[in-house]
């Protein structure tokens, strides 16, 4: 990361904690996460379901529904035009926050089937976004822009399809339209929350290629959230591995793949087949993810860790984050205690 210039940084997340207070206890969905995203780069966020990937993404746009969700600590710093805005200090409904949503940061979601309102045309929903953020644009121009965007994301016949309703689009087409909508105000950062999870494999490849092409064209940063290691390794420059609300390892894609440090990352690698390596038996990570209501003391991975060290890993204090090689961070006692 330090190889990037500091002025290229778009978004910094520092010690973010997003908790959900329920009758049955506090769920620490995101508990002290640090991330940095730079211009033109792709950050991959991987981890199992419930590890806090999506909550991190939703926290950035302040889409966590209060109550029960709340950002209890940390900073989300957006670097825009030379100024730094702490998003956690904004009210979710205030204008400054709304101006960031859709304009500086665009987001695409996991469920293309339900992510458009059913009663308005695709075109109306895209032009609406343009009209909110670009006050000088009139309806006709916005429509022209929307048609151009639809063409860019590969929708055939965009002049006609712009007046179609969401249910008239297939899943892949809807996700393309969703990307067009997220990109309509040329955001600095695109958050893609499992953008291809509900699509079939050929469509997945098309969508990912589309994202890569668009990134090359616009120079935007992408935060790609996925549980699919292949997808992330192909797209991302940097990878953050999350487990139970914690960032357990962070580094460049090469470092994370060639030299995984955290036992959880190593476990993830052993549990997927490798295409070019020798044929090996797949080894699942033993045990199940503990309930986030009832986190183990010390390292949250301790209960499933093959390297578990009694008296070290279960000491109830924060696990130190160690920089093992330049820009490769791991939160694990195996690599030292301080």
Partner 1 sequence: MRAFIVRRLILIIPLLFLISVISFATILLPPGSYVETYVQNLERTGFIMDQGQIEAIYRQYGLDQPAALQYVLWMSNFLLKGEMGRSFMYQRPVKDVILERLPMSATIAIVSLAVTWLIAIPIGIYSALRQYSVGDYVATIIGFVGLALPNFLLALALGYWVFSSTGRAITGLFSIEYKGAPWSIGKFADLLGNIWLPIVVIASAGTASLIRILRATLLDEKNKQYVTTARAKGLPERRLIMKYPVRVAINPLISTIGWTLPFIVSGEIIVSQTLGLETLGPVLLAAALGEDMFLVGSIVMILSSLTVVGTLLSDILLAWLDPRIRFERIGA
Per-residue x/- marks for partner 1, 78-117, CB under 8 A? ---------------x----xxxxxx--xx-x-x--xxxx
Instruction: Please tell me whether residue 219 binds partner 1 under the rule CB under 8 A.
Output: no
**Is residue 63 within the footprint of partner 1 (CB under 8 A)?**
yes
Kindly state the smallest distance separating residue 122's Cβ from partner 1, in Å.
10
The smaller minimum CB distance to partner 1, of residues 218 and 303, is found at 218
Segment lying near partner 1 (by CB under 8 A), choices 29-37, 68-76, 129-137, 202-210: 129-137
First vs last Cα of the chain: how many Å apart?
22
Please state the φ and ψ torsions of residue 128, each to the nearest 5 degrees: -55, -45
Residue 98 or 270 having the CB closest to partner 1: 98
70 sits near partner 1 (criterion: CB under 8 A): no
Number of residues in contact with partner 1 under rule CB under 8 A: 37
- Range 163-182, binding partner 1 (CB under 8 A): 163-165, 167-168, 178, 181
Please give the residues from 179 up to 208 whose contact with partner 1 meets the rule CB under 8 A.
181
Cβ count within 10 A of residue 230: 12
- Positions that interact with partner 1 (CB under 8 A): 61, 63, 65, 93, 98-103, 106-107, 109, 111, 114-121, 125, 128-129, 132-133, 157, 160-161, 163-165, 167-168, 178, 181
């Amino acid at each position: 990361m330090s190889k990037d210039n500091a002025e290229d940084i778009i978004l910094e997340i520092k010690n973010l904690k997003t908790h959900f207070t329920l009758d049955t206890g506090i769920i620490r969905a995101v508990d002290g996460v640090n991330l940095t995203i730079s211009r033109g780069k792709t950050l991959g966020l991987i981890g199992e379901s419930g590890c806090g990937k999506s909550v991190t993404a939703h926290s950035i746009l302040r889409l966590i529904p209060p109550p029960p969700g709340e950002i209890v600590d940390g900073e989300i710093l957006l670097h825009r035009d030379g100024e730094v805005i702490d998003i956690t200090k904004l009210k979710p409904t205030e204008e400054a926050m709304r101006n960031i949503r859709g304009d500086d940061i665009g987001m695409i979601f996991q469920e293309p089937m339900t992510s458009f309102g059913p009663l308005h045309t695709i075109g109306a929903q895209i032009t609406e976004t343009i009209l909110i953020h670009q006050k000088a644009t009139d309806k006709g121009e916005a429509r022209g822009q929307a048609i151009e965007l639809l063409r860019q994301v590969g929708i055939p016949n965009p002049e006609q399809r712009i007046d179609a309703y969401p249910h008239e689009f297939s899943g892949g087409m809807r996700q393309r339209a969703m990307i067009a909508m997220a990109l309509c105000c040329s955001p600095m950062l695109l958050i893609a929350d499992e953008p291809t999870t509900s699509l079939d494999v050929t469509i997945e490849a098309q969508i990912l290629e589309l994202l890569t092409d668009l990134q090359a064209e616009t120079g935007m940063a992408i935060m790609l959230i996925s549980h699919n290691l292949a997808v992330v390794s192909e797209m991302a420059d940097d990878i953050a591995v999350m487990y139970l609300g914690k960032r357990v390892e962070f580094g460049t894609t090469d470092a994370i793949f060639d030299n995984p440090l955290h036992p959880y990352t190593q476990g993830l690698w052993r549990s997927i087949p490798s295409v070019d390596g020798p044929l090996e038996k797949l080894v699942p990570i033993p045990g199940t993810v503990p309930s986030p209501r009832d986190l183990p003391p010390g390292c949250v991975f301790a209960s499933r860790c093959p390297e578990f060290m009694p008296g070290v890993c279960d000491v109830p204090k924060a696990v130190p984050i160690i920089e093992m090689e330049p820009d490769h961070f791991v939160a694990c006692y195996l690599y030292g205690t301080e």
